[in-house]
Amino acid sequence: MPISCLTDRFAKCKAEGKAAFVAYLTAGFDTRELTVDALLGLEEGGADVIEVGVPFSDPMADGPVIERAGNVALANGVKLADCFEFVKQARQKGLTIPVLLMTYLNPILSFGLEKCCEKARDSGVDGFIPVDLPHGEGQDDAFLSACKKFDISSVPLLSPTSGEDRIARVAATATSFIYCVSLTGVTGMKTNSDQLRGGEGGKEKALVDPFTAATAELGKTISFIKKHSDMPVAVGFGISKPENVKRVVDLGADGFVVGTAVVACVENTAGPPAAKVAALEALAKSLKAAASLPIATEEPAAKRLKANGTTEGSNGGAAIVNGGGKALGANVWCFGDFGGRYIPETLMHAHDELTKMYETAKADPSFATELDLLRRNYVGGPTPLYHAKRLTEHAGGAQIWFKREELAHTGAHKINNALGQALLAKKLGKQRIIAETGAGQHGVATATACALLGLECIVYMGAQDCERQKLNVFRMSMLGAKCIPVTSGSQTLKDAINEALRDWVTNIRTTHYIIGSAIGPHPFPDIVRDFQSIIGKEARAQMLNQGEFAPSAPGSGGHTIGPGKLPDVVVACVGGGSNAIGMFAGFLEDKDVELIGVEAGGAAGPPAEGSNEKAKHSATLSAGTPGVLHGNRTYLLQSSEGQIEETHSISAGLDYPGVGPQHAALKDAGRAKYVWATDSDALAALQMCSRLEGLIPALEPSHAVSYALKRAKEMRPDQIILVNLCGRGDKDMVQVAKHLGVDVSGSTGRDMKA
């Protein structure tokens, strides 16, 4: 069905004096069999347009009700191809109203952009709402072109945080209508519990209607949109009752979107499918009854589109320019084909703001001085370079050297990034900090930085990781942070990131998200790499005995630290990849230095190619394929349908199905090589390093030590392998003991024989 079906429907509603009712339904919830009849029931109840939600394993803008529905649909085996089939069957049974697919980008990329749009046209789907494909992202142009080729609409999203300049540019891309998010936050119904009480003199204020309070800026946003476009505006998020409908319509909306209430109706209605369909029909009728448009007293302020597709007052989609004069757009957001900014519209302004602030901070000598002083006087840097002579002797071959980043305050490299970003947050005026953590090291580092700088700290941690890293959970608590266990999904690092992103979407104005690894949307991979690059810079100078590490430098006593030459091989473990990219950064231009990233191979490494075995590893670069997750395009462990697979590693810090985009680019360019080590490899290396060097590495860098021991045997004694020992093993001792069959819960020394 052509785009005109959507524009005609909105025009019909307007002619009837009604706002268009856009209903959202998760495909395959609560059963596959219900979906087609539910679509027909919604039309019968008065829906004018239906959004069919495509389930995705890792949604960042879904509230709990829609997330639960998506998980049920995934368990029911629902794929993007099934969503097309549901709509096709509904058309055959008489569905006449327009249908959109609301989806995250990765399933579309896995299906193929053009193939997806062609399938939509042939199935009776009228368009898409891509949640994490904002205007200005590189894939945006390709997707819009594919939609245009097959006469399919791509509905843009705008939010109260968009700003008039961005509203003008995004509105210019609309072909049917514009989806305006009513509030900052995830999908869901607003209740009284969402409102804070308080008042002067201890008296409570009267409780304001939560939806009214949450949409205080909505009228202004709608006015800005209508100033720059004549396209209809449909408002969504938080609408669940007739009075909510009346409010958004009175504020100028041409349509309203209801999702959580529709999905909750399916979830909460007992009985056979027919009862659920009847309940949906009744809900639709009650909502549509409140959709009367106010009587217009004057012409709207919308300006006519120019022939070239832009609007008066619009810059035609030109990139925003920051204070430093660099264009902010996909051309500077990426590492070749990787990276980018694949995020909900609500987060776009915050990322532009962060980028500008970071560019300003980088150009400010006082910021660099402050960081350097913290590195020296608080973190304990420069961390030493160390020749592991007994390990070298044991391996037989190349010399093994360590960059001892495990000696940094808090026991890992994570503190470098946490302090840097916390300082940026203060410059941004954000007093509330959120973070994710896997092994707990980034959580502890962020809690430490927040304690030092007087910031509120909330850390999201997978429930499984909380269990295997109880000590770090307690450390965070001691530092004043609140650690929130995440019970969704695999209950590991990726799920903690999902929950942190939802928090950020909801609290974007007061909160900064300190991402712990070199992942996420631009500018986070750049920021994390730059703050961690101190590792590689120090290591290179130490190897060459240069700068402050030269024999002639003050305080050196005429002694040298390093061997006086560059290493032949630099090795670091890779999960998200922050320690590795920080280490590699110092040696990227030294083309004769080989860069090796060691991933978590899990129990037995990735399954053989063509195997039907489920992944039980975290070797993303070794066995993954390109896709989009957590705001960036990179290598992922994913199904053929673009759903993110669960991973496994003995090390919580490496238990992640993606990797930083710069690592993906280095892999494809051949500048770095990525291998894997198994759980047992890491355990053996940890024990060997402990007994021969008196150093207990964390499980994460133990993967890198394992590779170094094997590789050294293949090299000459005059060659050097430099390993980033990025964390110490205190946090892992209970986990290691468990794997070695030792009970340390209440044992005496004589019982602890590994």
Kindly list the catalytic residues. Answer: 51, 62
Phi/psi for 659 (5° steps) reads -160, 155
Terminal CA-to-CA distance of the chain, rounded, Å?
68
Q: Which helix (H) or strand (E) holds 108?
A: helix 105-111
Nearest to 249 by CA among 44, 50, 21, 23: 21
Q: Which helix (H) or strand (E) holds 101?
A: strand 99-103
Token pair 């091989």 is found at 569
56: helix, strand or coil:
coil
> Six-digit token pair at 425?
């947050």
**Alpha-carbon gap, residue 112 to 37, rounded angstroms:** 29
**Alpha-carbon gap, residue 572 to 352, rounded angstroms:** 31
46: helix, strand or coil:
coil
Widest distance between CA atoms in the chain = 89
One-letter amino acid identity for 626? P
**Alpha-carbon gap, residue 517 to 624, rounded angstroms:** 18
> Six-digit token pair at 712?
């050294």
Answer whether 317's CB lies under 8 Å from 169's CB.
yes
In the sheet with 511-513, reading across from the earlier edge strand, the strands are: 482-486, 456-462, 432-437, 511-513
Q: Which residues pair with 627 in a beta bridge?
A: 634
**Alpha-carbon gap, residue 283 to 685, rounded angstroms:** 61
Instruction: Name the pairing type of β-strands 334-335 and 720-724.
Output: unpaired
Nearest to 245 by CA among 229, 232, 261, 230: 261
391: helix, strand or coil:
helix
Phi/psi for 90 (5° steps) reads -65, -40
Query: Angle 348-362/524-544 helices, nearest 10 degrees?
Result: 30
Task: Say which DSSP state 184 is in.
Answer: S
Give me the sign of the Cα torsion angle 285, 131, 431, 577.
positive
**Alpha-carbon gap, residue 434 to 447, rounded angstroms:** 9
**Alpha-carbon gap, residue 464 to 448, rounded angstroms:** 23
DSSP codes of every residue in 616-637: -SB-HHHH-EEEEETTEEEEE-
How far is residue 595 from each of residues 213, 336, 568, 634, measured CA to CA in Å?
54, 19, 9, 19
Q: Which helix (H) or strand (E) holds 542?
A: helix 524-544
**Alpha-carbon gap, residue 355 to 522, rounded angstroms:** 8
Answer whether 499's CB lies under 8 Å from 460's CB.
yes
Task: Say which DSSP state 412 is in.
Answer: B
Half-sphere exposure of 183 (CA within 13 A, CB side): 21
CA dihedral 693, 733, 422, 346 (to 10 degrees): 130
